[in-house]
Amino acid sequence: MPANRFNAFTDYGIGIGLRVPHYAHILEKKPVVDWFEIISENFMVDGGRPLHVLDRILEQYRVVQHGVSMYFGSAEKPDRTHLKKLKQLVKRTKTPWLSDHLCWGSVDGTFTHDLLPMPYTFAAARRTAEKIRYVRDCLDVPICVENVSSYAEFHASEMTEWEFLSEVVERADCGILLDVNNIYVSSKNHDFDPYDYVNGVPVDRVGQIHVAGHTKFEKYILDTHDHPVLDPVWKLYAHAIRRCGVTATLLEWDDKIPSFDEVHDEALKANAFIGGARAARKPAQAARA
């Protein structure tokens, strides 16, 4: 499960998001980091500084692409220009797998730049899975879809979110980027047990895990990525790791970004949970040998 066909049989460890305020530190100090996750769209440009920085990062580090605008759940077809640019980037980064969200965000070629929730229906699952297959075939790289945090549910829904996620990934035969912070946020906003969610997804398809911070408001929780990870999310992460085994894990910190070291230290807290899973794996491997 740690290394599976959805993450190209890698065992990447703990990564952090590559963000502009840290560029200078990374390029000058060359800190030891297992891997960086990049937002694909930030580098789907035709030239200039972004690609120059990326190339320098690629000389030193392993990079995985994470997208925010493929909108697998949008009813419209994938945009060819978008796919072409994404494919160029995939060739550049040699990302072992590529992730994007189980959501929609565009209609008639107009974009919200948001991760809007899906209606959890069989028709939507079929359409979404078709699109994931199409994109994967175009890009020729394993795909993991990420569960989003949400603030609304639809009357039309026919199943729970984790049943929908399972339906989509089974139909698409793709991986899961399990965002445990998003599960926690949605569980509070929609009153379900986050452990039911983690127990309900096909763990053999989990190729990567996200952790992040969120913000509590009076009537709902917002996925803000501007805090350290909160304790209930680490607990849920621990549970996910127990189920999934050692899994490539990434801390997302996108707003009010502190120093590189602070972000990296926060990410490395995941070692406390991964270490246990790794130790548990060794006797099993020894027994098999």
Partner 1 sequence: MRPAGLKPPPKHAPRRLHSEADLRTLQRLMMHAIVQPLTADDDLAPRWRDGRPMAEVASEFIKPNDRLTSFERLQIYARGYWYRVIDCAYDDCPGLRALLGEEKFSALIRAYLAKYPSRSFTLRNLCARLPQFIREAPRWTAPHTALAHAVARFEWAQTVAFDGEARPVLTPDDIADVPPAKLRLALQPYLSLLALDWPVDDYVLAVKKRDALRGEASHAVDHGLRAASRRTASRPRRRRVFIVVHRYNLQLYYKRVDAVAFKILTALAAGRPLAQAVAAAGRGVKPAPVRDWFATWMELGWFCRWK
Question: Scanning the structure block, which residue is given the tokens 């120093």?
Answer: 259
Cβ atoms of 207 and 171 closer than 8 Å: no
Q: Which is nearer to partner 1, 125 or 241 (CB)?
A: 125
SS3 1: coil
Supply the minimum distance, in Å, between the C-beta of residue 65 and partner 1: 14
Residues 89 to 108: which contact partner 1 by CB under 8 A? Answer: 104, 106-108
Q: Does 51 bind partner 1 (CB under 8 A)?
A: yes
Mark the segment that binds partner 1 (CB under 8 A) among 149-157, 172-180, 203-211, 260-268: 149-157
Residues 11 to 30: which contact partner 1 by CB under 8 A? Answer: none
Q: Does 190 bind partner 1 (CB under 8 A)?
A: yes
Residue 102, token pair as written in the block: 């189980």
Question: Scanning the structure block, which residue is given the tokens 């795909």?
Answer: 143
Supply the minimum distance, in Å, between the C-beta of residue 82 and partner 1: 5
Q: Is 9 left (phi over 0), alpha (psi -120 to 50) or beta?
A: left
Supply the minimum distance, in Å, between the C-beta of residue 161 and partner 1: 13
Residues 192-231, mask of contacts with partner 1 (x by CB under 8 A): ---------------------------xx-x---------
CA nearest 249: which of 222, 215, 274? 274
Q: Does 48 bind partner 1 (CB under 8 A)?
A: yes
CA nearest 172: which of 198, 133, 220, 230? 133
Four-CA torsion 99, 100, 102, 105, nearest 10 degrees? 180
Q: Does 76 bind partner 1 (CB under 8 A)?
A: yes
Supply the minimum distance, in Å, between the C-beta of residue 194 and partner 1: 16
Supply the minimum distance, in Å, between the C-beta of residue 40 and partner 1: 10
Cβ atoms of 167 and 119 closer than 8 Å: no
Give Cα separations from 164 to 77, 93, 117, 273 (angstroms).
Answer: 20, 31, 12, 28
Question: Scanning the structure block, which residue is given the tokens 């020729």?
Answer: 140
Q: Which is nearer to partner 1, 48 or 283 (CB)?
A: 48
Residues 112-141, mask of contacts with partner 1 (x by CB under 8 A): xxx-x--x-x-xx--x--------------
**Amino acid letter at 183?**
I
Q: Using CB under 8 A, list all residues that contact partner 1.
A: 41, 44-52, 69, 74-76, 79, 82, 104, 106-114, 116, 119, 121, 123-124, 127, 151-156, 189-191, 219-220, 222
